[in-house]
């Protein structure tokens, strides 16, 4: 495994790091994390046992460098790293909208990969999309796959699908949490204690997702098996359709793709 550097360790960086460190395939001593604030860097070192720094010298010390910073700071951060980043670094970028062409233009790196992970990486259940540029070697691809599969599932996709991947995997945990909250609110209306309602809603989502993945059945078939004729589920389903549930989800993901294209 390559020496891994992280520039930024916020929500997504720390989720990946938590997944990688828990799996145990990479020694924390082979990981170095840059966080500008000393207090934050110290907290990362204390939690994960990795090396930390408050400047971006990490770039020169890593063979595989993860850019886990917001797209809005890319230009300034990459400019500051121009000397440190070159053909020796395999650059992994997480930001929507920052294309392979942009990254090649903004750095002297030749080997570049875009990743679109999601925060369930923190519990080893991430879904990561991977886009390699042409210069990535077979060894690079293996190293990237070893890295991303240490915190969940991963698939290589063509770059034109990354906005869809951003919506359906990168962002969708937020939408699923919203769905869980809404279901819990309904149970609270009926008198269920809130903490219990979150557990019920989350377990129902977890179990349903597992059924889709493990049964191989079409989601509609699984849905039909829940809807007893003349029963409760179909009554609720009708109300959801009337309220535009499917359409709301499609519009939400489409708005996400549109934003990703224009970041
Ligand atoms: N959050 C998510 O679910 C997902 C995020 N992504 C992508 O991952 C990237 C990171 O997002 P996210 O983790 O949410 O963002 P966060 O803001 O949570 O984390 C970014 C971290 O980088 C730090 N930082 C800022 N400037 C620098 C710098 N110059 N050098 C080093 N570190 C710096 C920030 O510190 P400070 O806060 O002190 O400024 C912060 O801790 C983004 O490109 C995002 O689009 C992709 C998939 C999912
Ligand atoms: O909201 C965002 O832009 C980032 C990218 C995917 C998830 N979070």
Gap from CA of 170 to ligand 2 centroid (Å): 6
pLDDT by residue (tens digit) across 117-136?
Answer: 999 999 999 999 999 999 99
Ligand 2 is surrounded, with C-beta below 6 A, by: 96, 166, 170-171
Other Cβ atoms within 10 Å of 52 Cβ, number: 21
Residue 148, domain extent: 4-157
Query: Residue 78 in contact with residue 107, Cβ under 8 Å?
Result: yes
Decide which of 157, 180, 207 is a domain's last residue.
157
Query: Based on the number of CB atoms within 10 Å of its own CB, is 63 exposed (0-12), middle (13-18) or buried (19 or more)?
Result: middle
Whether ligand 1 lies within 6 angstroms of the CB of 68 is answered as yes
Higher pLDDT, 228 or 87: 228
Task: Please check the confidence at residue 56 and state whether its pLDDT lies above 90.
Answer: no
What pLDDT is attached to residue 200? 98
Co-location of 146 and 171 in the same domain: no
What mean pLDDT is predicted for residues 77-95? 91
ipTM of the prediction: 0.98
Q: Which atom of ligand 1 is nearest to the CA of 98?
A: 43
Per-residue pLDDT at 1 exceeds 70? no
pLDDT digits (tens, 9 = 90+) for 134-146: 999 999 999 999 9
162 annotated ligand binder: no
Domains contained in the chain, number: 2
Clarify whether residues 173 and 144 are in a common domain.
no
Q: For ligand 2, what atom is nearest to the CA of residue 166? A: 6
At residue 87, the pLDDT reads 86
Query: Is 111 in the same domain as 205?
Result: no
Please state, rounded to an integer, the average pLDDT across all residues of the chain.
96
Q: What is the pTM of this model?
A: 0.96
Which helix (H) or strand (E) segment holds residue 74: the answer is: helix 74-80
Q: Are 170 and 164 in contact (CB under 8 A)?
A: no
β-pairing, 126-132 vs 111-116, is antiparallel
Residues 136 and 201 grouped into a single domain: no
Are 127 and 178 within one domain?
no
């Amino acid at each position: 495994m390559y020496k891994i550097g992280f520039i930024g360790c916020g929500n997504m960086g720390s989720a990946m790091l938590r997944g990688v460190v828990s799996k145990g395939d990479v020694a924390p001593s082979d990981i170095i994390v840059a966080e500008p604030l000393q207090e934050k860097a110290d907290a990362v070192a204390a939690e994960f046992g990795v090396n930390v720094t408050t400047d971006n010298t990490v770039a020169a010390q890593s063979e595989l460098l993860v850019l886990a910073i917001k797209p809005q700071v890319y230009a300034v951060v990459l400019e500051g790293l121009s000397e440190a980043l070159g053909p020796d670094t395999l650059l992994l970028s997480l930001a929507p909208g920052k294309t392979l062409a942009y990254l090649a233009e903004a750095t002297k790196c030749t080997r570049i990969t875009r990743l679109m992970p999601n925060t369930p990486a923190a519990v080893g259940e991430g879904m990561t999309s991977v886009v390699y540029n042409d210069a990535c070697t077979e060894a690079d691809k293996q190293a990237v796959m070893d890295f991303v599969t240490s915190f969940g599932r991963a698939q290589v996709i063509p770059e034109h699908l990354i906005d869809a991947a951003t919506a359906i995997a990168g962002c969708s945990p937020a939408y699923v949490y919203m769905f869980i909250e809404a279901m819990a609110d309904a149970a609270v209306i009926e008198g269920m204690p809130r903490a219990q309602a979150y557990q019920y809603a989350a377990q129902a989502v977890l179990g349903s997702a597992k059924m889709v993945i493990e049964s191989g059945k079409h989601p509609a078939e699984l849905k039909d098996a829940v809807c007893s004729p003349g029963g409760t589920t179909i009554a609720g389903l009708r109300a959801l359709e009337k309220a535009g549930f499917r359409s709301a989800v499609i519009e939400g993901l489409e708005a996400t793709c549109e934003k990703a294209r224009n970041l």
